[in-house]
């Protein structure tokens, strides 16, 4: 069971609020892992969950070493009273391999195509919907989302589209970073990152 007592010890919130935050993320990531198991036809499990409270610029510095690595990425934004940025990342090699397993054959070259981006994006969108639906059930709210944005690009470019914007610049935000990994093998994994304005999220969790 997720325990955030140590990770969130520096912020002034009640133990009840911390428990609510734990429930939101644990339940949401569990549902995403279950959906991944069905979609990928593999037994998937949560490998680790890291919770950070960062400023946008500090977070960019933290992931800077991976900026030039290319990923299949999907970004979904929630709206209304609960504003989250939900990012899914699958590495190039794993995404191409997953696409080949989906269509039942290998493509003529290793070049990433628009068809690959669309197919991997659709899988990521379903996983995102699983997390959003579980969050809506847990918080007893209706959550609306923007249309998903699917791409294949370097991590630096992807993160700039999310982090370097008004809602995160010069502001603290929650970042829940989970790795969902195949149980039987070391290789295949999908990374799920949830970002939200810290003060807004603490208020929501405190009112549950």
Q: Which CATH number covers residue 39?
A: 3.40.1550.10
The answer as to whether 127 is a domain residue is yes
pLDDT (average), residues 171-200: 83
The answer as to whether 9 is a domain residue is no
The answer as to whether 6 is a domain residue is no
The answer as to whether 4 is a domain residue is no
> How many helices (H) and strands (E) are present in the chain, helices listed first?
6, 6
The answer as to whether 162 is a domain residue is yes
pLDDT score, position 71 = 93
For the stretch 25-38, pLDDT in tens is 888 888 888 988 88
Domain that residue 63 falls in = 15-206
DSSP 80: T
Contacts 24+ apart (CB under 8 A), 18-25: 20/205, 20/206, 20/208, 21/201, 21/202, 21/205, 23/138, 24/135, 24/138, 24/139, 24/205, 25/49, 25/51, 25/176, 25/178, 25/194
The answer as to whether 123 is a domain residue is yes
**Is 44 buried (19+), middle (13-18) or exposed (0-12) by CB count in 10 A?**
buried
The answer as to whether 8 is a domain residue is no
Between 4 and 171, the higher pLDDT residue: 171
pLDDT score, position 152 = 94
Say how many domains are in the chain: 1
The answer as to whether 7 is a domain residue is no
């Amino acid at each position: 069971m997720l325990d955030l007592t140590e990770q969130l010890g520096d912020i002034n919130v009640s133990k009840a609020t911390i428990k609510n935050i734990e429930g939101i993320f644990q339940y949401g990531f569990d549902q995403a892992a279950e959906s991944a198991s069905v979609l990928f036809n593999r037994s998937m499990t949560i490998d680790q969950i890291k919770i950070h409270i960062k400023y946008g610029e500090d977070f960019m510095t933290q992931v800077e070493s991976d900026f030039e690595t290319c990923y299949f990425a999907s970004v979904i934004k929630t709206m209304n009273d609960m504003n989250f940025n939900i990012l899914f990342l699958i590495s190039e090699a794993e995404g191409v391999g997953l696409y080949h397993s989906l269509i039942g054959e290998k493509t003529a070259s290793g070049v990433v195509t628009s068809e690959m981006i669309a197919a991997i994006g659709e899988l990521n969108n379903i996983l995102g919907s699983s997390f959003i639906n579980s969050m809506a059930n847990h918080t007893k709210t209706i959550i609306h989302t923007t249309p998903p944005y699917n791409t294949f690009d370097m991590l630096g470019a992807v993160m700039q589209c999310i982090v370097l914007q008004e809602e995160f610049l010069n502001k603290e935000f929650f970042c829940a970073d989970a790795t969902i990994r195949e149980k039987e093998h070391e290789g295949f994994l999908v990374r799920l990152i949830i970002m939200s304005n810290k003060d807004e999220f603490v208020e929501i969790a405190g009112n549950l």
